[in-house]
């Protein structure tokens, strides 16, 4: 599939790299639409299992690239409807699909949360936008035996791509995989985010669910304050995903783990050398604790616990994860055994906690 036709403004190397390509930004500079990372696209298409001749509804047109892949899978006898909330994105998707020669795709401007009842029923529905819940309209517009795949936010910013089918009168998850998508917006089922600055210049910030109670004033400039640092004993082998640790820690903490955005030049200055790249931060009043990583030695000692209540809660959660969850599995995913001793290429989870002057928490040195 010629991905460069769907991101014509991107350099050719970026168009074919295994990374997302941002195409639209909000007024604060936050990306609100992109061509998704190809590995994630493939993961979700694998979950969807689209078949030749089927009718597909895609929620989130973006560049039109995913709709093109779906159109290829269902073939000339099948049909794909893709919808997005922004006219400019829909017009761009149409142009890209035309340039690639696809005629069995319809791109429409709609609120994704209500689907497109005029084209129902669909054999498969796939959301390429994040949702906190599942709108009833999506379920109603599926044909009997149909499948829904949706990136669903579970707690904090941690999400899983969940595949649903109706079995014995109930909608049941038949598998889930780790991924995170930009949220539904400008519609009836929005999962809005709010940006909370952590540094004085605002370059390091949380992207938190809008409904989550966080005292933004108490966190202003928190990264310029003294910090404590503690390494856990949790290690991850090379090429092993830490996704189950992330899910476990997020479900163990009141705030969950929240996505932290930062520029590259914040590494080793405001932040540690290698901050964890996904959902990373937990907050407690005026304190923030975030995950980071390093190449481990053969044995990684655990430092004595110290710091704010945020770090003292997060460290045991990360440390206890492999002990309390010896068989981490879910429908449709591989089962992993007990954690093994780290190899030199393993990664260890690192937490830093900072407390702002406005906080009642203290961070001892």
Q: Is the peptide bond before 227 cis (omega within 30 degrees of 0)?
A: no
Question: Exactly one of 31, 33, 157, 356 is catalytic; which is it?
Answer: 33
* Residue 308 annotated among the catalytic residues of the structure: no
Q: Which of 32, 251, 245 is nearest to 156 (CA)?
A: 251
User: 335 exposed, middle or buried (CB, 10 Å; 0-12, 13-18, 19+)?
Assistant: exposed
Contacts 24+ apart (CB under 8 A), 328-336: 328/244, 328/248, 330/175, 330/176, 331/173, 331/174, 331/175, 331/176, 332/47, 332/163, 332/174, 332/175, 332/176, 332/177, 333/175, 333/176, 333/177, 336/240, 336/244
Say if CB 258 and CB 281 are below 8 A apart: yes
Q: Tell me, rounded to whole angstroms, the distance of Cα 137 from its chain centroid.
A: 23
Q: Which of 306, 310, 300 is nearest to 349 (CA)?
A: 300
Structure tokens at 324: 């309390």
* Residues with a known catalytic role: 33
């Amino acid at each position: 599939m010629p991905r460069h036709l769907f991101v014509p403004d991107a350099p050719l190397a970026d168009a074919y790299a295994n990374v997302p390509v941002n195409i639209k930004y909000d007024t604060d500079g936050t990306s609100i639409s992109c061509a998704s990372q190809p590995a994630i696209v493939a993961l979700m298409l694998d979950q969807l299992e689209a078949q030749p001749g089927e009718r597909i509804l895609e929620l989130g047109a973006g560049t039109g690239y995913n709709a093109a892949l779906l159109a290829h899978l269902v073939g000339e006898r099948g049909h794909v409807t893709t919808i997005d909330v922004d006219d400019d994105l829909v017009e761009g998707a149409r142009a890209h699909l035309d340039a690639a020669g696809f005629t069995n795709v319809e791109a429409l401007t709609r609120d994704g949360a209500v689907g497109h009842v005029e084209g129902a029923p669909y054999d498969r529905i796939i959301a390429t936008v994040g949702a906190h819940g599942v709108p009833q309209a999506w379920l109603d517009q599926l044909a009997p035996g149909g499948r829904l795949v949706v990136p669903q936010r579970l707690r904090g910013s941690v999400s899983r791509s969940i595949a649903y089918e109706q079995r014995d009168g109930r909608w049941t998850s038949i598998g889930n995989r780790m991924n995170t998508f930009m949220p539904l917006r400008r519609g009836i089922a929005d999962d809005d985010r709010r940006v909370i600055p952590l540094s004085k210049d605002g370059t390091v910030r949380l992207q938190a669910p809008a409904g989550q109670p966080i005292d933004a004033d108490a966190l202003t400039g928190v990264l310029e304050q003294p910090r404590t640092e503690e390494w856990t004993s949790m290690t991850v082998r090379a090429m092993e995903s830490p996704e189950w640790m992330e899910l476990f820690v997020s479900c163990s903490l009141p705030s969950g783990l929240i996505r932290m955005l930062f520029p590259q030049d914040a590494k080793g200055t405001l932040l540690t050398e290698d901050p964890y790249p996904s959902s990373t931060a937990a907050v407690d009043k005026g304190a923030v604790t975030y995950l980071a990583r390093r190449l481990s030695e053969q044995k990684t000692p655990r430092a004595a616990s110290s710091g704010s209540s945020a770090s003292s809660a997060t460290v045991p959660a990360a440390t206890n994860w492999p002990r309390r969850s010896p068989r981490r599995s879910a429908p449709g995913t591989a089962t992993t055994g007990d954690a093994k001793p780290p190899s030199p290429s393993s990664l260890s989870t690192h937490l830093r906690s900072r407390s702002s002057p406005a906080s009642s928490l203290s961070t001892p040195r």
